[in-house]
Structure 1
Amino acid sequence: MPKQVDHAERRRLLAEAVFTVIGTRGYEAVSLRDVAEQAGVSMGAVQHYFPAKHDMLLFALDHMRQRVVARLQSALAALPAPTRRDLIRAATAAMLPVDAPGREEACVNIAFFSAATVTPEFADKLRSGYERILTVSVANFREAAQLGELREGIDPDREAPALYFLTQGLVGPILIGLYTPDEALALVEAQLDRVFR
C-alpha cells in the first residue's frame, strides 16, 4: 500500500524551511533549491507544491500569520482569569521578537515588508494582516473601556493602534540589539500603565 502523504504538512514544512533560510541567510538567499536543501527534500518535491518561488513565498507569508496566531492563542490560554490588560499585554509580547520563534518571525516579516514595496500581492497580504490585528486590538480596547478598565479620557480607537505601532516600531531595535527584549517589554508596560487604571 503506498504511503499516505500529508500535503498540508509538507507545505508547512517547506514554509518553515523558507523561514530558516531567511533567518540565517537573508531574503535574497531564498530559492527553490535552497529551500529544498534546508528541508531535506529534492528540488522536484518543492516544485510539486510550488511551481515558482513567488508561489512558495506567498504560502510562507500565509503560514507565518497562522504560526503567530497559534503562538498567541497558546499564550492567552495559559493566562488564568485574564483581564483585558493581561490579554493585550500577552498579545503585544507575542508580536515582539523576545524569544526564538518571535525573532524568526520578525526577521521573516521584515524581509516580506521589504519585498512588499515592489510586490503588490505581498503588500495586499501584509495590509490585510494589519487590518485584522487592528480590528481585534480596537475591540479589546473598547471592551476594556466598557468594563471601566481604561483611565479617564482614553480613546480606545486611538490607543489600540498607538500600542500596536509602538510594538511594531520596537521590532527592529530589538533585532539589532539597541533594546533588549526586557527593555522593550518595559516600554510596552509603561504604555499600558498610562492607558489602564
Structure 2
Amino acid sequence: MPRKVDHQERRTLIADALMRVAASGGIEAVSLRHVAAEAGVTAGMVQHYFATKDEMMRFALGVVMERTTARIEAAMAALPQPVAPTAMVRTLLHALLPLDEPRRADGRVALAFLAYSAVEPAAARLLSAGTRQMAQHLAEQIRLARPDADAEATAVALLATMEGLGIYLLGGHFRAEEAVRALDAHLDLVFPG
C-alpha cells in the first residue's frame, strides 16, 4: 500500500529549509535549487509544492509569523492572571526581541523578509497587516494604562524601538542584556511608576 503523503508537512519542510538558507545567506541566496538541496529533496518536489519563488517566500513568511505568534502566546500564558497592560506590553516586546539563538534565526529571516517586502507587494501586505495589528493591540494596552497618552503614536514608537534594538542585536552591536535594559528604560518612560 502506498504511503500517504502529508502535503502540509512537506510544504513546512521546504519552508524551514528556505528559512535556513535565508538566515545564513539572506533572501538573495534563496532559490528553488538551494532550498531543495537544504531540504534534502529534489528541485522538482519544491516546484510541485511552490510554482514560483515568490509563492514559496510568502508561505515561509506565514510560517515565521505563526512561530512568532506562538512564542508571544506562550510568553503571555506564563504571566500571572489577570495581566496588567504594562506587563502585557513588556512581555510582548521582550518576546519579539532576538535574545536567543532560535529567535535570532527567526529575526534574521524576518529582517530578510522586511527587505523582500520592499520589492514584493504581496509580502508587504502580509507584513503590514501583522504590524498594524500588533500596533493596534499595543495601543489598546497603552490606552488602558495611560488614558492621557497618544496611544497610537506611542505604540508605533515602541515597535520601532524594539525593531531597532533587534537589528542591533542581530548585527552583534549590543548584547541581549543591554538591549533588554534599553527597552525596559524606554518602557519606564512610557509607563512611569
> Amino acid of the residue matched to residue 87 of structure 2?
D
Match of 1:130 in 2: 131
Query: 2:135 touches 2:152 (CA, 8 Å); kept in 1?
Result: no
Instruction: Verify: 1:161 aligned to 2:156, yes or no.
Output: yes
Match of 2:93 in 1: 92
**Within 1, Cα distance between the matches of 2:88 and 2:9?**
30
Match of 1:33 in 2: 33
Aligned-pair Cα RMSD in Å: 1.6
Q: State the shift of 1:5 in Å.
A: 2.1
> Amino acid of the residue matched to residue 186 of structure 1?
R
**Within 1, Cα distance between the matches of 2:189 and 2:119?**
38
Match of 1:114 in 2: 115
Please show how residues 1-197 of structure 1 align to structure 2 within 5 Å: 1-81=1-81, 82-145=83-146, 153-196=148-191, 197=193
Structure 1 residues 55 and 187, CA, compared in 2 at 3 Å: closer, same or farther? same
Deviations 1:79-102 (A, max 9, x none): 223322222111101211111222
**Within 2, Cα distance between the matches of 1:140 and 1:13?**
37
**Within 2, Cα distance between the matches of 1:40 and 1:105?**
21
Q: Mind listing any 5+ residue stretches in structure 1 that lack a counterpart? A: 147-152
- Give 4+ residue runs of structure 1 displaced > 3 Å after superposition: none
Q: State the shift of 1:138 in Å.
A: 1.0
Match of 1:150 in 2: none
Q: State the shift of 1:61 in Å.
A: 1.2
Match of 1:149 in 2: none
Structure 1 residues 195 and 124, CA, compared in 2 at 3 Å: closer, same or farther? same
**Within 2, Cα distance between the matches of 1:122 and 1:4?**
32
Structure 1 residues 140 and 2, CA, compared in 2 at 3 Å: closer, same or farther? farther
**Within 1, Cα distance between the matches of 2:12 and 2:144?**
35
> Amino acid of the residue matched to residue 156 of structure 1?
A
Deviations 1:141-176 (A, max 9, x none): 123336xxxxxx433233222111111111221111
Q: Normalized against structure 2, the TM-score is what?
A: 0.91
Q: State the shift of 1:69 in Å.
A: 0.3
Q: State the shift of 1:192 in Å.
A: 1.6
Q: State the shift of 1:126 in Å.
A: 1.6
**Within 2, Cα distance between the matches of 1:130 and 1:75?**
19
Aligned length: 191
Identity over aligned pairs, percent: 39
